[in-house]
Amino acid sequence: MNRKLKKHAEQELRQRQELLALFDTEQGERVLQYLERRFETDLPVFQGRAGTYDALDAMRRDAHREVFLVIRRLMELTRNEDSQPNNPNHNDDTE
């Protein structure tokens, strides 16, 4: 892997680890849940009767949902990476 690509990958990993450290706590999870409720990310993007949908409202809902999907996915990826034994960041309590 060339140096620039390796540096970028290391930076991405650090950012994902910071995200996980922030939100993978009891308080962080409560904040995520509050924001997901606040922005109603569990509701369908299109609200109202068929044929009367507000396209701008749907775009807004979709954008809100995307933010939380990205955060949750990055947290999941980082957890999986950290649990891999060949990962230098792997914490094995049995050692």
- Domain map (residue ranges) of the chain: 3-82
Residues 6+ apart with CB under 8 A from 47: 53, 54, 57, 58, 61
Ranking 9-18, 47-56, 75-84 by mean pLDDT, the lowest is 47-56
The predicted model gives 1-14 an average pLDDT of 90
Confidence of residue 95 (pLDDT cuts 50, 70, 90): very low
The tens digit of pLDDT for each residue in 29-61 reads 999 999 999 998 888 888 877 778 888 988 999
Read off the pTM.
Answer: 0.71
Distance CA 6, CA 70 (A): 22
Token couple for 13: 């990993």
Contact present, 91 and 84 (Cβ < 8 Å): no
